[in-house]
Amino acid sequence: MRVLVTGASGRLGHAVLARLRDDGIRVRAASRRPRTGGEVEWVVTDLATGEGLTEAVAGVDAVLHLASAPQGRRTYQVDVLGTRRLVVAAGAAGVQHLVYVSIVGVDRVPIPYYRHKLAAEQVVAAGPVPWSVLRATQFPQFLDDMLAASARLGPVIGDRAVLAQPVDTGEVAARLAARLVAGPLGGIEEYGGPQVLRFDEAVRAWQKARGSRRPLLPVRIPGRLGRELRAGGLVTEVLPRGVRTWADHLADTYGGTERR
């Protein structure tokens, strides 16, 4: 099997490339900028313009679509219109399976970026290529980065009752590799981490791991957004789940914290 991976230079992309390579799958990796290495074939594509897409999908059996632009003005161009360009090009090339990576909660949590991800799911489902969508919960690195950014301003700021379910990047990569091999689902699969944590629980563990004494300043998120986040809009009860916990991530990142 030969697979095109979009967004191959990102955090999840690195984990996916390693996993597919270990599984003996031939990989064509797409990036906006020229790259080499990683024992894969690199190609230059730009979803915002369509540049390089025809060449990128030529001769591949499946597409693993990871590319996204979560911030800035490019989001709609990349995540929605770019996904449509990719789906059309893949259909014309006779690709047999397109797997799209989305986020748990895109159909519930009223965030503009999530609306674009949901629209991209709909583009994939309406397209000519047999498809699967994997919605994952948040990566622990994302939560870690968010807490670090908040702490630079003084106290850690957040709604202590918001629920999160960090899932290991490598485990999501393994799930994606398994979905490629299993073939098109024609539907949506959710995948989350092993634990659902309140924001204040996650913060306390993070502070302990870093030896930080910065206080948590609780700020209740208003409106529908806050209600959905506190009600579990970002988590899933679907099984199976990953096994690596938030504590595992903290131990690997900072050391000296007890795993649980």
Q: State how far the Cα of 191 lies from the Cα of 102, in Å rounded to an integer.
A: 10
User: In the predicted model, what is the mean pLDDT of the chain?
Assistant: 95
pTM to 2 decimal places: 0.95
Q: What pLDDT band is residue 214 in, cutting at 50, 70 and 90? A: confident
Give the residue with greater pLDDT, 195 vs 260. Answer: 195
| Domain spans, the chain | 2-137+168-191
Tokens of 68: 């996204």
Under a CB-based contact definition with an 8 Å cutoff, are residues 136 and 104 in contact?
yes
Mean of pLDDT values over 205-216? 92
CATH topology for 2-137+168-191? Answer: Rossmann fold (3.40.50)
Please, what is the end-to-end C-alpha distance for the chain in angstroms? 39
For residue range 78-105, what is the model confidence (pLDDT) as tens digits?
A: 999 999 999 999 999 999 999 999 999 9
> Can you give the pLDDT at residue 256?
61
Calpha distance 191→238 (Å, rounded): 7
User: Residue length, the chain?
Assistant: 260
Kindly report, residue by residue over 5-31, the tens digit of the pLDDT: 999 999 999 999 999 999 999 999 999
Instruction: Categorize the per-residue pLDDT at 39 as very low, low, confident or very high, splitting at 50, 70 and 90.
Output: confident
Hey, what are 161's tokens? Answer: 């009752």
What was the pLDDT predicted at 259?
41
CA distance 32 to 67: 10
242: tokens are: 């990953």
